[in-house]
């Protein structure tokens, strides 16, 4: 901090705000309180004992700490609200020593400023949101793209250094704002070029073109035939499970063959992959099974006169069971819509019942660069090596992370495992995310840690700190690697 007349200067990030008394800096994280630079948000400590119904709580709303330390029940000092280090030669804001189960441990705690970061979004829906590589926009600005779809889910890759720093100012701001809200578990409306609009929120169902998605399919059309073939025996002569990717046809499918289902001579559009499995039956869309179909008969190209028969019972269903129709062939072998027999309606319900609730999942992904690692040790690569050797555990706001193989410390974390409001931003623009490195004291010393900056956990005062219950799904960060909660 430096002072100029009635202003003080925050030096916690490259913006270097001058802040008047009673005002906050550009990121709303630091304020001038009677000439002192203070953090606006409290510093969060996690309590292992499961109270507060065993879940993390919004830190602005609940939680308190009176500075007490009960032996054997020490809190975990997170980086949330701990502050950042800038420029990079400074040690991390908190390097905390504590004895855990008779072992001397160190936790290095920093709110990292991530210019290289983004989110991976998994949206449980069959509906077509947009083509691969299609641009995803927030507030009209490009913030990412559609990436490879997964089983029953559409995937978005948002943010990254190019959208944050290489586009226009408006693009950088929109990207940062969208990432911040997504990481803080707030809803964000995204529009996909040539595709749908979708409201995404971690832990909530996606809303596609204004319609809340209910179900994530249990399998593709072919898999559904395999799973439910036995249930349909005797109820229908032919079953087609309509799917944008792999449409299944019971009489041709191996499951139908093994169960002795008679050939029906049905002709299905698209491209036959293997018996009873068809690709490209229709264009992708938000209709039946992620196709653009509202009338499933559009994919039925008729019946072979030598095999089909009048009265043949045809059941068509989507991969989630949300759409279903029943037909019988007339004398000219044309399908005629008929009232759905109760047993078939129940089978559609069974498909639906086997589909899990559709959710959005948001994973923050960031790279702890050399500058951030320098906050832990004077020789940053030693921290990377220590993480690789499983001597140092990395957590994000106390939540476990997945570390990518290869160079650097590039990690992903499920934002639903962090306390609400754990992420911040600076208007460079970049995201501010908590990161903690925990290790044995001996290992910290060996990596060239900032030993002189270490302080005992007992030295932390209660001022501006909140103690909240740890998320019950997370392993306790200070347990040996692989330990349970
Ligand atoms: S943006 Fe925030 S962290 Fe950066 S200098 Fe301004 S007040 Fe400090």
How far, in Å, CA of 446 to CA of 436, rounded?
18
Angle at 115 between CA 112 and CA 120, to 5 degrees: 95
Give the pLDDT confidence score for residue 52 in this predicted structure. 45
Q: How confident is the model at residue 102 (pLDDT cuts 50, 70, 90)?
A: confident
Cα(3) to ligand 1 centroid in Å equals 14
- Ligand 1 pocket test target in 7, 9, 13, 429 with most atoms within 8 Å of CB: 13
204 CB within 6 A, ligand 1: no
Ligand 1 atom closest to residue 30's alpha carbon, by position in its atom list: 7
Give the pLDDT confidence score for residue 64 in this predicted structure. 55
Query: Does pLDDT of 68 surpass 70?
Result: no
Q: How confident is the model at residue 60 (pLDDT cuts 50, 70, 90)?
A: very low
Ligand 1 atom closest to residue 9's alpha carbon, by position in its atom list: 5
- Listed residue (94, 45, 95, 83) closest to 65, CA to CA: 45
Ligand 1 atom closest to residue 11's alpha carbon, by position in its atom list: 5
426 CB within 6 A, ligand 1: yes
Tokens of 362: 């948001």
- Listed residue (59, 109, 102) closest to 84, CA to CA: 109
Q: What b/e readout covers 139-160, taking b as 16+ CB neighbours within 10 angstroms?
A: bebbbbbbbebeebbbbbbbbb
All residues at 6 or more sequence positions from 463 whose CB lies less than 8 Å from its CB, including other chains: none
- The per-residue pLDDT for range 394-444, each reduced to its tens digit, is 999 999 999 999 989 999 999 999 999 999 999 999 999 999 999 999 999
75-89, 293-307, 353-367: the lowest-pLDDT one? 75-89
Per the CB < 8 A criterion, the answer to whether 398 and 81 are in contact is: no
Give the pLDDT confidence score for residue 270 in this predicted structure. 93
- Ligand 1 pocket test target in 7, 8, 11, 15 with most atoms within 8 Å of CB: 15
- Ligand 1 pocket test target in 2, 8, 14, 17 with most atoms within 8 Å of CB: 17
Cα(14) to ligand 1 centroid in Å equals 8
pTM reported for the whole predicted model: 0.86
199 CB within 6 A, ligand 1: no
- The per-residue pLDDT for range 238-286, each reduced to its tens digit, is 999 999 999 999 999 999 999 999 999 999 999 999 999 999 999 999 8
The domain segmentation of the chain, as residue ranges, is 2-40, 81-116+369-469, 131-143+158-212, 221-353
């Amino acid at each position: 901090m430096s002072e100029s007349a009635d202003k003080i200067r925050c030096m916690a990030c490259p913006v270097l705000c001058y802040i008047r008394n009673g005002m906050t800096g550009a990121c709303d994280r630091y304020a001038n309180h009677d000439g002192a630079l203070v953090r606006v948000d409290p510093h969060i400590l996690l309590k292992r004992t499961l109270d507060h119904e065993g879940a993390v709580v919004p830190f602005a709303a609940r939680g308190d700490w009176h500075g007490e330390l009960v032996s054997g029940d020490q809190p975990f000092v997170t980086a949330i609200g701990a502050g950042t280090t800038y420029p990079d030669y400074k040690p991390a804001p908190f390097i905390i020593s504590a004895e855990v189960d008779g072992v001397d441990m160190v936790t290095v705690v920093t709110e990292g400023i991530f210019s290289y970061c983004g989110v991976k979004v998994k949206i449980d829906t069959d509906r077509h949101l947009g083509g691969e590589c299609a641009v995803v926009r927030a507030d009209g600005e490009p913030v990412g793209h559609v990436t490879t779809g997964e089983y029953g889910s559409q995937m978005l890759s948002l943010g990254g250094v190019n959208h944050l720093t290489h586009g226009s100012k408006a693009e950088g701001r929109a990207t940062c704002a969208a990432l911040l809200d997504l990481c803080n578990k707030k809803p964000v409306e995204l529009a996909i070029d040539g595709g749908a609009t979708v409201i995404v929120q971690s832990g909530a169902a996606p809303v596609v073109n204004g319609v809340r998605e209910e179900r994530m399919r249990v399998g593709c059309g072919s898999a559904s035939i395999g799973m439910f073939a036995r249930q349909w025996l005797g109820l229908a002569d032919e079953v087609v499970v309509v799917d944008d990717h792999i449409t299944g046809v019971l009489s041709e499918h191996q499951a139908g063959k093994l169960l002795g289902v008679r050939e029906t001579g049905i002709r299905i559009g698209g491209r036959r992959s293997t018996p009873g499995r068809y690709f490209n039956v229709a264009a992708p869309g938000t209709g039946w099974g992620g196709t653009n179909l509202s009338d499933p008969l559009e994919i039925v190209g008729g019946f072979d006169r030598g095999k089909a028969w009048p009265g043949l019972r045809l059941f068509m269903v989507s991969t989630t069971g949300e759409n279903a129709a029943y037909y019988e062939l007339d004398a000219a072998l044309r399908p005629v819509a008929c009232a759905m027999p109760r047993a078939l309606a129940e089978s559609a319900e069974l498909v639906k019942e086997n589909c899990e609730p559709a959710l959005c999942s948001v994973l923050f992904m960031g790279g702890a660069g050399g500058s951030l690692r320098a906050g832990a040790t004077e020789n940053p690569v030693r921290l990377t090596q220590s993480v690789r050797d499983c001597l140092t555990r990395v957590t994000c706001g106390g939540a476990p992370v997945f570390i990518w193989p290869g160079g650097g410390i590039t990690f992903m974390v499920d934002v639903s495992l962090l306390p609400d409001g754990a992420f911040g931003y600076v208007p460079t623009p970049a995201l501010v995310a908590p990161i903690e490195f925990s290790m044995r004291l001996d290992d910290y010393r060996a990596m060239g840690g900032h030993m002189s900056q270490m302080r005992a956990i007992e030295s932390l005062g209660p001022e501006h700190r909140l103690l909240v219950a740890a998320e019950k799904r997370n392993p306790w960060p200070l347990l040996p690697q692989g330990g349970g909660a």
